[in-house]
Structure 1
């Protein structure tokens, strides 16, 4: 799908109202973002497309030094060149986050070259929507999502965290999904389980690293229209553009809230926890043949 910044011009009035009422939106001022990141080293994973690409552009424009991480070398190098042409600083690091040895090497390389990492935007991810009946012979559906959505980010942070804690400075932004907060979603078992694993890991770690002034933000993103979401038909579902989603990343880096989520998601999570059996029955009725 088109990943260039979009406006409301192509949206219906109903969609604009739905996004305004139901989805989190925030755009820090240019001055606030620059004050937060100018001269800082802000690592962005999954930077070759979508939210990561748009976020890298905004962070670099605000004065951050941005290491760009993804598998796609041509796209990363082009992005780094575009950022440099606009007066920013970014460098490409082609890495497959499912290769854990390569991820460890990436972390050590970044520390050797920059001395430290001030912030990590953990954005790289993989989504799969598939009924379980179609996954019986596709165990790799689960291994590839857990590798990129959970194990890769953990491996990277295990390398970077000791240095953040020693410096008493650092911020980690996890691009999670609102699906982690909602009742279990049929057909999304591989994706949601892997995202939930990293979400719980990071929140557990956050309690331990807070004493060293290392902070975390979990962004429970609603639907964002990107090439990752394109295989599923979301044409009738209101969603954020990558530009709007990257505004949330900029907001996270600027104000460092513990989490960013749709206002109603926590309420639904609380209801489903109390009425777990009822929520499960609702889902079962929906998918009963």
Structure 2
């Protein structure tokens, strides 16, 4: 896959994973499940009410417990528009099939951020996301403006700049593989009542992910993140999410320095 697909997949996997961590009591489905599968497994209604073109639809996050739905998209105007249209399509199809309970609506108030720390001498990457309008979660990859030996120092500085295409091309595949490996192992081996640090060991053109130790409590619910290793590898570290600005989505995109298509 290209680095764009690696980073896109990594974003979706990590954001969905953290949603599951933050909502351990929710019955939630992610984009491996089609609408008919969700309806039948959760016993929501009559899947035969779906049109043929709706039967293959796979919402990014469908929370049956809260009756909410999210689409995950890149942080730009096109992503916002596509997320809005897709969420509306999924909600219309899903609600048509319901036999019991209240209808599904676009989810709100889901935001977060993680840091990815490479070997000493590299910039620290930042993945941040938030709900820009009901039903749409948008994400953005950036890096620290300068080099830091401490993830905590980089986070405290909070000076994130756009990644260059060369940086994404060089490291995107490694990040994607590490995130996928971590999430897959975590899903197979553990419950979602806590979170772990992840070390990304980069050797040649390959990357592996493994656990560096437990971080007590829920993902993003504390300040006890581990320091990155001083030599080699990297670490994915959860931090508490900052509250999203209370401004309209268009102003939000502009305020964060995103270039809007004309």
- Structure with the largest fraction of strand: 2
